[in-house]
């Protein structure tokens, strides 16, 4: 009894029984909570005084759905299972009203869908986000939602996975009553109950329905639009099947179909990968020794040094979060250009409906510019985004040290440089941190938070808290060349360019990796970032590849010819009229470099291309992990998912390696080392940690520096 009390608070008032979930923090429908709900449903069923059960929450939110951490364990199947609980609510002989607060997601909404009536407060979010976890709503959602609202809308809502507001839900017929605020709940409930009392709940889900022609057409059109976004995914297709086929069946059969499709998706590698990504993003925010209380530095005003594209992109994040931001540049003309660029970007966001007109005005009002360091003396956080050169950055930090207030956070956006050497020039190195944004900084979700040997706990904790405020996915990393993301991209890009010398066409390399699921191929990515930028990054790390003449030899040769990528309309590809085309001249150039270096050209397979690029990525990841630059393999995955376009349904390079099996990866790397002669010998030596884990039959995830 005490056990069930911990999960549900039960109270009867007159003919109403209130069953309030209280499983902190978000009422995940774990085994114990399901048992408690089931138990109190029995209590209410047996109590002749009870005529209606109100299912609600004692916490802020109604429910975040099934407990994802239970998936695949015995507890997730243990009765009452979530589908069985929903069925029981659906069949319950007395009225059931769900009173939804803050959000009802996944299984949480499915519980509410099984009830006879639903009321929700205005700001509530309702959604079935299972698709983001590689599964489909598996507790009746795929069958009850399309029977309650327009079936194509229901399918689209499940395929998108995005929650909708209570007001939208009411318009669709998903919610019966929308409350202005939670204070009105009691009165609204009584009113609703008054209208129902004395009648019997009608079950509208039992029968089969025909999918109307216009509904089917709307769903087909939507599917066509989504072709690119759904690439590689299983569950959106399963959702469409569940809706279109299930609608035509009586509920019992339709639910059985849902179960079959759910089990099939749940057992897939992509479901494991997507669920790994969900937890990895939460875990990445946890840094040992750093607690919530450490995040006490208030950030009310931000300054950004450098008004280039990066500085502008970074500024937009803060402006959109309503934080006053001052852009500093010694060049007045550059500042004017930057202001115009920021205004144009915000305007375009407003015109596309991404932000309201009011938000646009507020963001513009929050922007200020300055040419003098004295003007940023009040900033709580300063982010340096100047040219990627150690001496230049050090001179900026000396100025910051001189002018900024004592507890200001002094951040650098460096993507490769030694942050300890930057902190060294300050009298307060404990205030120095790296905040590495990814270009375009107002769009890319990732923020690498680089901790030096001396960064203080409040500076780190406050930076992590800030990341959430500006809607970034933050990962804390240590100092090394390129940190985690760019250090790993070096071997990935090395292989991509080397294979062109070995005879692969650039488009063949890009297509293979896009087929693997990367948002972009490595060669087109180099053209977009700038061939000169790639060369600079290679030169900054020259000691690592000394003696390897083929290392980025094609990029250096292209730079020599002024082919700097998209910005000069020619890089590896040509961009006549902006359209990307393979350039035979580059194939000739690659061939002549290969000849001069004694590299024999041959044909390469898609598998070899993928293996050489992706295994190199993971191999470097294991080195980073072993050196403690990343805390966990999941952190590396989060970086690649949010900053480098790695397919989320593969979970990231480390999860991909785990899914393949580390022994397979080890054997693959050893074969490449053997088969590629002296080149292979040098570049495919296996990271010691990978070898150890593979030989002891362990996974990357099993290793942690925490
Ligand atoms: N299962 C397990 N743990 C969950 C969870 C879930 N469904 N939802 C949240 N949590 C955990 C988080 O991991 C976190 O744990 P931590 O404190 O140990 O890190 C804690 O709850 C709080 O979560 P957040 O830090 O994310 O809190 P926020 O307030 O920022 O966000 C949220 C809350 C919007 C609910 C967000 O956590 C979320 O989107 N959760 C996932 C919702 C979801 O996908 N539900 C569907 C589940 S699958 C399902 O229901 C299957 C069914 O159809 C059969």
pLDDT at 409: 98
Ligand 1 atom nearest to CA at 468: 30
Alpha carbon separation from 152 to 149, 261, 420 (Å, rounded)? 9, 19, 56
Q: 27, 33, 64: which to mutate for ligand 1, most atoms within 8 A of CB? A: 64
CA neighbor of 500 nearest in space, from 482, 519, 481, 527: 527
In ligand 1, the atom with minimum distance to the C-alpha of 125 is 34
Reported as a pLDDT band with limits 50, 70 and 90, residue 199 is confident
* Ligand 1 geometric centre to CA of 485 (Å): 27
- Which atom of ligand 1 is closest in space to residue 110's alpha carbon? 53
Q: How many CA atoms lie within 13 A of 427 on its CB side?
A: 9
Q: State pLDDT tens for residues 130-153.
A: 999 999 999 999 999 999 999 999
Q: Tell me, using a 6 A CB cutoff, whether residue 82 lines ligand 1.
A: yes
Q: What is the mean pLDDT of residues 660-683?
A: 97
| Three-state secondary structure readout of 80-117 | CCHHHHHHHHHHCCCEEEEEECCEEECHHHHHHHHCCE
CB 255 within 8 A of CB 87: yes
Separation of 187 CA from ligand 1 center, angstroms? 31
Tell the residue nearest (CA) to atom 25 of ligand 1: 282
This prediction has a pTM of 0.94
pLDDT at 346: 97
Given a contact cutoff of 8 angstroms between Cβ atoms, the answer to whether 430 and 459 are in contact is: yes
127 lines ligand 1 (CB under 6 A): no
Closest ligand 1 atom to 65 CA: 50
d(CA 168, CA 164): 6
Ligand 1 centroid, distance to 106 Cα (angstroms): 10
The CA distance from 161 to 156, in Å, is: 8
Residue 290 scores a pLDDT above 70: yes
Q: Return the pLDDT at 12.
A: 97
Contact 16, 50 (CB under 8 A): yes
Contact 669, 677 (CB under 8 A): no
Tens digit of each residue's pLDDT (9 = 90 or more) over 106-117 = 999 999 999 999
| d(CA 466, ligand 1 centre) in Å | 21
- CA atoms within a 13 Å half-sphere pointing along the CA-CB vector of 72: 13
3-state class (DSSP) for residue 651: coil
Instruction: State both tokens at 221.
Output: 């059109």
Angstrom CA distances, 616 to 88, 487, 620, stand at: 52, 11, 6
- Catalytic center residues: 110, 130
9, 13, 15, 19: CA torsion to nearest 10: -10
The answer to whether the beta carbons of residues 259 and 138 sit under 8 Å apart is: yes
* Residue that the structure tokens 């760019």 belong to: 486
Placement of tokens 């991209």 in the chain:
489
CB of 25 within 6 A of ligand 1: the answer is: yes
Give the distance from CA 698 to its chain's centroid. 26
Q: 467: Cβ–Cβ under 8 A, 6 or more apart, which residues? A: 447, 449, 473, 474
CA 26 → CA 66, 208, 296, distances in Å? 10, 34, 25
- Cα(26) to ligand 1 centroid in Å equals 7
pLDDT in tens, 47-91: 999 999 999 999 999 999 999 999 989 998 899 999 999 999 999
pLDDT tens digit sequence for 623-651: 999 999 999 999 999 999 999 999 999 99
Would the CB of 133 count as within 6 Å of ligand 1?
A: yes
What pLDDT does 605 receive? 98
Whether the CB of 282 sits within 6 Å of ligand 1: yes
Ligand 1 proximity of 277 Cβ (cutoff 6 Å) = no
Tokens of residue 291, six digits: 């607690």
Residue nearest to ligand 1 atom 46, measured at CA: 106
* Any ligand 1 atom below 6 A from CB of 85: no
Query: How much distance in Å is there from the Cα of 64 to the middle of ligand 1?
Result: 5
Closest CA to 165 of 219, 86, 104: 104
Nearest CA to ligand 1 atom 40: 64
pLDDT of residue 33: 97
| Segment among 231-240, 532-541, 652-661 with least mean pLDDT | 532-541
* Average pLDDT estimate for 566-589: 96
Could you tell me if 66 and 110 are in contact, meaning their C-beta atoms sit under 8 angstroms apart? Answer: no
With a 6 Å cutoff on the Cβ, whether 134 touches ligand 1 is: no
Are 131 and 161 spatial neighbours (Cβ–Cβ below 8 Å)? yes
Ligand 1 centroid distance, CA of 98 (Å)? 20
Ligand 1 lined by 65 (C-beta under 6 Å) = yes
With beta carbons less than 8 A apart as the criterion, state whether 86 and 29 touch.
no
**270 CA to middle of ligand 1, Å?**
19
pLDDT for residue 164 is more than 60: yes
Per-residue pLDDT for 163 more than 90?
yes
pLDDT band at 318 (very low <50, low <70, confident <90, very high): very high
Tens-digit pLDDT profile for residues 470-523: 999 999 999 999 999 999 999 999 999 999 999 999 999 999 999 999 999 999
33 Cβ inside 6 Å of ligand 1: no
Check whether 2 has a pLDDT greater than 70.
no
pLDDT for residue 270:
97
Average pLDDT on 568-591 reads 96
Ligand 1, pocket-test mutation among 60, 68, 123, most atoms within 8 A of CB: 68
- Is the C-beta atom of 64 inside 6 A of ligand 1? yes
pLDDT in tens, 590-610: 999 999 999 999 999 999 999
pLDDT of residue 1 exceeding 80: no
Residue 67 CA, ligand 1 centroid: distance in Å: 8
Q: Is 139 in the pocket of ligand 1 (CB under 6 A)?
A: yes
Q: Is 69 in the pocket of ligand 1 (CB under 6 A)?
A: yes
CB 338 within 8 A of CB 327: yes
Pocket test for ligand 1, best of 23, 26, 130 (most atoms within 8 A of CB): 26
Q: How much distance in Å is there from the Cα of 333 to the middle of ligand 1?
A: 48
Angstrom CA distances, 141 to 252, 260, 425, 434, 676, stand at 13, 14, 59, 44, 53
Q: Hey, whose CA ends up nearest to atom 41 of ligand 1?
A: 64
pLDDT averaged over every residue in the chain? 95
């Amino acid at each position: 009894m005490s056990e069930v009390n911990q999960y549900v608070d039960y109270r009867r008032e007159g003919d109403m029984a209130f069953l309030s979930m209280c499983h902190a923090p978000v009422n995940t429908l774990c085994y114990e909570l399901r048992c408690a709900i089931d138990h109190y449903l029995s209590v209410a069923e047996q109590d002749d005084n009870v005529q209606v059960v109100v299912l609600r929450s004692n916490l802020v939110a109604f429910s975040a759905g099934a407990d994802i951490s239970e998936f695949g364990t015995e507890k997730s199947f243990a009765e009452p299972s979530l589908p069985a609980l929903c069925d029981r609510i659906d069949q319950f002989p007395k009225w059931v009203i769900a009173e939804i607060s803050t959000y009802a997601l996944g299984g949480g909404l499915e519980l509410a869908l099984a009830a006879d009536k639903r009321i929700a407060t205005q700001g509530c979010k309702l959604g079935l986000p299972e698709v983001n976890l590689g599964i489909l709503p598996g507790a009746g959602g795929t069958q009850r939602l399309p029977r309650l609202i327009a079936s194509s809308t229901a399918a689209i809502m499940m395929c998108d996975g995005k929650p909708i507001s209570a007001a939208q839900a009411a318009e669709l017929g998903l919610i019966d009553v929308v409350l202005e605020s939670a204070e009105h709940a009691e009165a609204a409930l009584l009113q609703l109950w008054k209208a129902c009392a004395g009648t019997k709940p009608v079950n509208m889900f039992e029968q089969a329905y025909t999918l109307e022609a216009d509904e089917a057409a709307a769903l087909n059109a939507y599917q066509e639009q989504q072709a690119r976004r759904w690439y590689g995914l299983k569950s959106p297709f399963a959702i469409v099947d569940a809706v279109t086929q299930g609608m035509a069946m009586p509920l019992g059969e339709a639910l059985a179909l849902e179960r079959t499709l759910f089990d099939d998706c749940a057992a897939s590698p992509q479901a494991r990968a997507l669920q790994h990504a969900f937890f990895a993003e939460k875990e990445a925010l946890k840094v040992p020794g750093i607690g919530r209380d450490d995040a006490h530095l208030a950030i009310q005003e931000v300054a950004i040094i450098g008004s280039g594209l990066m500085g502008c992109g970074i500024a937009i994040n803060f402006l959109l979060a309503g934080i006053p931001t001052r852009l500093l540049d010694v060049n007045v003309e550059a500042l004017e250009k930057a202001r115009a660029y920021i205004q144009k970007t915000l305007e375009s966001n407003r015109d596309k409906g991404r932000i309201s007109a009011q938000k646009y005005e507020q963001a513009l009002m929050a922007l200020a510019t300055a040419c003098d360091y004295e003007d940023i003396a009040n900033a709580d956080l300063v982010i340096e985004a100047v040219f990627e050169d150690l001496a230049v950055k050090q001179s900026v930090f000396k100025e910051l040290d001189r002018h900024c207030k004592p507890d200001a956070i002094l951040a650098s956006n460096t993507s490769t440089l030694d942050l300890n050497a930057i902190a060294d020039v300050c009298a307060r190195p404990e205030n120095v941190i790296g905040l590495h944004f990814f270009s375009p900084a107002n769009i890319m979700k990732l923020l690498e938070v680089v901790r030096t040997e001396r960064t203080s706990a409040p500076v780190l904790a406050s930076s992590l808290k800030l990341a959430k405020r500006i809607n970034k996915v933050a990962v804390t990393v240590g100092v090394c060349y390129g940190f985690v993301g760019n250090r790993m991209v070096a071997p990935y890009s090395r292989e991509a360019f080397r294979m062109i010398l070995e005879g692969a066409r650039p488009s063949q390399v890009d297509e293979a990796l896009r087929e693997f699921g990367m948002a972009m191929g490595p060669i087109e990515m180099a053209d977009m970032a700038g061939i000169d930028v790639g060369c600079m990054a290679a030169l900054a790390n020259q000691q690592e590849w000394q003696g390897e003449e083929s290392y980025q030899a094609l990029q250096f040769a292209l730079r020599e010819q002024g082919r700097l990528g998209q910005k000069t309309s020619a890089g590896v590809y040509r961009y006549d009229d902006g359209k990307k085309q393979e350039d035979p001249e580059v194939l000739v150039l690659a061939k002549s470099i290969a000849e001069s270096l004694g590299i024999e050209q041959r044909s390469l397979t898609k598998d070899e291309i993928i293996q050489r690029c992706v295994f190199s990525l993971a191999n470097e990841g294991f080195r980073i992990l072993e050196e403690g630059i990343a805390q966990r393999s999941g952190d590396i995955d989060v970086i690649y998912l949010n900053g480098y376009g790695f397919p989320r349904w593969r979970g990231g390079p480390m999860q991909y390696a785990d899914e393949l099996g580390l022994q397979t990866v080890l054997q693959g790397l050893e074969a490449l080392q053997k088969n590629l002669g002296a080149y292979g010998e040098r570049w495919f030596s296996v990271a010691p940690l990978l070898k150890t884990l593979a030989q002891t039959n362990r996974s990357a995830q099993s290793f942690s520096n925490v």
